[in-house]
A = this chain, B = another copy of it.
């Protein structure tokens, strides 16, 4: 674990270089090679869920005749460490306008949480949410509007965040190019984070309820129980997946969730109170985001405090991890990519060891 001193050195460097961000070209040359090899029992990818639909020639883009395709499937990439049988798997789900890439190599070329959790002995599964990345989306309505068989107003919107919005919304600073002096985000690599952005059709273009909930629950079942970790938009997905099948949700980690539901029934609270739940929030939560539907992340934090209170009152063991309160300052919304990302990962791993593995009798 990084010392507080090394963190403070990072803070000082951020202060020095804070005004020259957004100019440095990044790329493969900045990607770091670990000191020791990664030994995998297995790696690969597969799909969870999906359903067959029949579409017309026009809906399929008019290259060939109509017929059936699969939609609403969820792509999952996985790595299983060698010699770690019995350890609890961890599923890492990304946020809005992003893909599973969020958890891989950081924008400045350091090890992502996907590999770090594997190196700590956990099988890791990284999906792309249904409707995003390698999971694809249902293109029929877009082609129908193109050919005039549906009005433009039928289109769901595609969301992306501008770089200017990312700065305050992800809390690198109060506004674009004005970093917080203690920011933990690798500010010279903000342009690399910008490349991780993909259009997000989940605001209207994905079925309701989101098929990702069921796919996550089914994935947890297929691996015989898992810690489900969501981030931001998907921060509350582990709760939704657990309610579908609590027996396979071994632990829920809500990393900077957009919000924690405040309308659960007592029955739902009773179910969730049986599970280890951890909410994780970074610093500078009162930064005005510039986004109307979520004026500040402090509101998200408070909704999770409310949920944790209800769960505790029902006998649950939900808790908040806010590194700020232990003197670790400057963590951003993209906490898994922050300069102290492995320090934060260690805190979560410690929680998994104590609250999930020991409880379930897993090796780790």
Residues of A within 8 A of B (CB): 26-29, 31, 33-34, 37-48, 50, 52, 55, 60-70, 73, 75-77, 80, 82, 99-101, 104-105, 109, 111-112, 115, 128, 133-137, 139, 142-143, 145-148, 151-153, 155-165, 169, 176, 191-192, 194-200, 203, 219, 222-223, 289-293
* Interface-central residue, A38, A66, A76, by most chain B CB under 10 Å: A38
Contact between A222 and B134 (Cβ–Cβ < 8 Å)? no
Inter-subunit contact A146/B157 (CB<8 Å): yes
Q: Which residues of B contact A47 (CB under 8 A)?
A: 27, 192, 195-196
Q: How far is the CB of A84 from chain B (nearest CB, A)?
A: 11
Contacts A28-B223, A134-B198, A195-B73 given; indicate if A44 touches B115 (C-beta within 8 A): yes
Report whether A163 and B69 are in contact in the complex, using a CB–CB cutoff of 8 Å.
Answer: yes
Query: Closest CB-CB distance, A87 to chain B, in whole Å?
Result: 15
Given contacts A70-B197, A158-B142, contact A64 B222 (CB under 8 A): no
Known: A34-B42, A40-B38, A162-B68. A203 touches B61 (CB 8 A): yes
Number of copies of this kind of chain in the complex: 2
Are the CB atoms of B159 and A60 closer together than 8 Å?
yes
Q: What's the least CB distance linking A62 to chain B, in Å?
A: 6
Please, which residues of chain B bring their CB within 8 A of the CB of A50?
194-195
Identify the interface centre among A43, A60, A155, A290: most chain B CB within 10 Å of its CB: A43
Known: A152-B145, A155-B145. A64 touches B165 (CB 8 A): yes
CB-defined contacts of A48 to chain B, threshold 8 Å: 27-28
> Which residue among A47, A146, A169, A195 has the maximum number of chain B CB atoms within 10 Å of its CB?
A195
User: Smallest Cβ distance from A353 to chain B, in angstroms?
Assistant: 24
**Chain B residues within an 8 Å CB radius of A64:** 161-162, 165, 169, 289-292
Known: A46-B192, A69-B160. 10 other contacts (CB 8 A): A27-B48, A29-B222, A37-B40, A39-B39, A45-B104, A63-B203, A64-B290, A70-B197, A77-B104, A146-B153
> Which B residues lie within 8 Å of A162 (CB)?
55, 60, 64-69
Q: How far is the CA of A34 from the CA of B82 in the complex (A)?
A: 11
Q: A65 with B290: in contact, given A44-B115, A198-B134, A222-B29 (CB under 8 Å)?
A: yes
User: Is B192 in contact with A44, judged by CB distance below 8 angstroms?
Assistant: no
| Distance to closest chain B CB from A201 (angstroms) | 9
27 A–B contacts from the bound complex (CB under 8 Å): A28-B223, A37-B40, A39-B40, A44-B111, A44-B112, A44-B115, A46-B192, A55-B162, A60-B161, A61-B203, A63-B161, A64-B290, A66-B162, A68-B194, A69-B163, A69-B197, A70-B163, A70-B197, A73-B195, A75-B101, A99-B133, A137-B198, A143-B158, A145-B152, A146-B152, A146-B156, A147-B152
A191–B70 contact, CB under 8 A? yes
- In the bound assembly, the distance between CA atoms of A40 and B136 in angstroms comes to 29
Contact A28 B60 (CB under 8 A): no
- Do A164 and B65 contact each other (CB < 8 Å), given the known contacts A134-B100, A139-B158, A199-B137? yes
